[in-house]
Chains A and B, each alone.
Chain A
């Protein structure tokens, strides 16, 4: 009995610890004025309207969305054919790619950014500090999420046998890919893409090192406002904080929801979505 009460208290304290910083940020985004009191003196939606009408914020949001779209396009174009060929024709591709996925998984992204910066500086200086370098780097660190998801769904759909069956019926390989394989692995592409999108929306280290102020994404804007001593703007920052959190949470909830029922390891999917959030 005593241990049961003990574990309840333990879980309640843990829940409180998880809830409080989020509540504090949420209250800040709704507060009219919050001085030396526990709770704000009044509530308003003013900041939510105000922040997104500022050109620097809507600009940063737009840049983050463009970055996400380009990153997704690069990853889908590169990963889907490779994963397809690996599962259907040449499994050795898979083992090479799995080895490469260890790099963004284990090595800090700021280290990858450092290496890229050193290379670009004296081999392709025209890429230095550009959007394309950032997009390519983001695609490189996020590609494992898409590769794992696509490979899993190719295996689950038994794409190898599907392709063989289609070939027996005389279908051209391209027709097989577009009309048989792609529809069968759509779920994998979508959930992998959501993880890539979450990574690109929240990525900070690569953006900070590779482009800095030249292409201010939403995380870079947050960091600049947060660290500036003078133009401190907590309400605006709180709005963007809650907005980013809501976006990431929605994306990962969608991934979990899409993967429901397929293999009991929905917790593993969760761990993967959160690892993308944490490393940024």
Chain B
């Protein structure tokens, strides 16, 4: 690993070497001027080149490779056969349906619990708000394999709550069980994402509405909901995307009985067996990437709409 030398501005003075300047300033033609332009371009990018090359190799190329492998056929050439194979495979179809359902349900539940929680927390005094922020921080750091263990210790067959209440909870690896565990980090995530937003809804607006003889219901329908809706939509999209992509908790929980099939688990299992059907992992990966791209674009739109009132 070579350390990029920040101190080697090839084209002299720092201000003159700014690549954003039009290169015509020095004028002239021929190889000398071209060389100078190249040097200046290099000086503008050189210290960032290692990072750019590194991320190109480690992040961009893998993504492109997955797209390539999705369409590349064993027999040579390109086609839709790999996608067709995944679409025809009942296990993959089940995994895709489960992941989408889990993502949508999690995002909706996180919003349903997180929105009122964010609203109540934003209206607390400083001490209460700090306590709740700390609790959210605690909850969202209890993640991965440890979280799976925590839930098995709590509601597993010999779990604490199972004994205390003497009921049997849904298996932690089942669809319902996963939903119970995933909410543990998705609710705090939603609250943390929307807390800045609910502060937008200023108390003076409610007072102003009261002056105009608006009822509380009218205030919420005409002002509160329209202002908060884009923020809620943005939070929903992020939770949806992240939930579909989660691997660690899913892997741990799915080792239990009655476990549910998910896209990320199928990708992991395919890569591990590594003897057959790596293109299947590629197709499923590309599906996840597509979902991520679509929801990132929608997220940007939602945020742009939401920040009109800031």
Which of B69, B159, B188, B248 has the most CB atoms of chain A within a 10 A radius of its CB?
Answer: B248
B161 contacts A20, CB within 8 Å?
yes
Contacts of B273 in A (CB 8 A): none
Select the stretch in A46-54, A57-65, A186-194, A268-276 that faces chain B.
A268-276
A78 contacts B54, CB within 8 Å?
yes
The docked-state distance in angstroms from the alpha carbon of A238 to that of B154 is 12
CB of B139 within 8 Å of the partner chain: yes
CB of B23 within 8 Å of the partner chain: no
Contacts of B147 in A (CB 8 A): 21
A25 contacts B146, CB within 8 Å?
yes
Q: A14-B117, A112-B59, A115-B285 are in contact. Are A92 and B66 (CB under 8 A)?
A: no
CB of A43 within 8 Å of the partner chain: no
The docked-state distance in angstroms from the alpha carbon of A274 to that of B188 is 9
Q: A15-B135, A82-B52, A112-B59 are in contact. Are A24 and B150 (CB under 8 A)?
A: yes
Q: A110-B267, A174-B6, A174-B7 are in contact. Are A277 and B54 (CB under 8 A)?
A: no
Chain A contributes a number of interface residues (CB within 8 A of B) equal to 106
CB of A258 within 8 Å of the partner chain: no
CB of B260 within 8 Å of the partner chain: no
The docked-state distance in angstroms from the alpha carbon of A123 to that of B55 is 17
Q: Which residue of A lies closest to B248 (CB)?
A: A204
Contacts of A204 in B (CB 8 A): 144-145, 247-248, 251
Q: Which residue of B lies closest to A265 (CB)?
A: B196
Interface residues of B in 222-263 (CB under 8 A from A): 241-242, 244-248, 251-252, 255
Give 12 A-B contacts (CB < 8 Å), ordered by A residue: A81-B50, A90-B18, A103-B60, A104-B59, A106-B241, A108-B292, A114-B62, A137-B58, A164-B14, A238-B153, A274-B188, A279-B246
Q: A18-B188, A20-B154, A270-B140 are in contact. List 5 more A-B contacts (CB 8 A).
A: A227-B251, A245-B141, A253-B134, A278-B189, A278-B246
Q: Which chain B residues have a beta carbon within 8 Å of chain A's beta carbons?
A: 1, 3-7, 9, 13-15, 17-20, 43-48, 50-52, 54-55, 58-66, 69, 113, 116-117, 120, 132-151, 153-154, 158-161, 163-164, 183-185, 187-189, 192-193, 195-196, 241-242, 244-248, 251-252, 255, 264, 267-268, 271-272, 278, 281-282, 285, 288-289, 292-293, 295-296
